[in-house]
Amino acid sequence: MLFKVTMDVQLPHAMPKEAADELKLAERELAQSLQRSGKWRHLWRVAGRYANVSIFDVDDAAELHDLLTGLPLFPYMKIDVEALCRHPSSIHEDDR
C-alpha cells in the first residue's frame, strides 16, 4: 500500500544543539536505510519549512504506524497520512 505522509518537525527551542544533532543523525541514518529497503519510496523537503512530504510503500497501515513511531524525531513531529491508490489515467506501470 502506498501512503503520502507529511511530517512537520517541531524541535523544542530549548533543546541543546548536541541533542538535536544526535536525533537528526539517527533520523537520517534510519530514513536512508528505509529508502534503500524500498519502504520509504520518495522523500522531498518542503521549501521554507522543517518539513517533508514522503511516499511510503508498506504492507498495511499497521506497518506504516510502526515505521513512523520508530523514527527518532517522531515525538517532535506533526504527521498527516493519506492512503493512495493508482490513478486510472497514470502512464506509469509501477504505480500501485
pLDDT of residue 88: 87
Q: How many domains does the chain have?
A: 1
Element (H, E) at 18: helix 17-37
Residue 91 lies in a domain: no
pLDDT of residue 47: 97
Residue 93 lies in a domain: no
Report the CATH number at residue 46: 3.30.70.1060
pLDDT tens, N- to C-terminus, the chain (96 residues): 999 999 999 999 999 999 999 999 999 999 999 999 999 999 999 999 999 999 999 999 999 999 999 999 999 999 999 999 888 898 987 766
Residue 92 lies in a domain: no
Domain of residue 46: give its range: 2-84
pLDDT of residue 95: 67
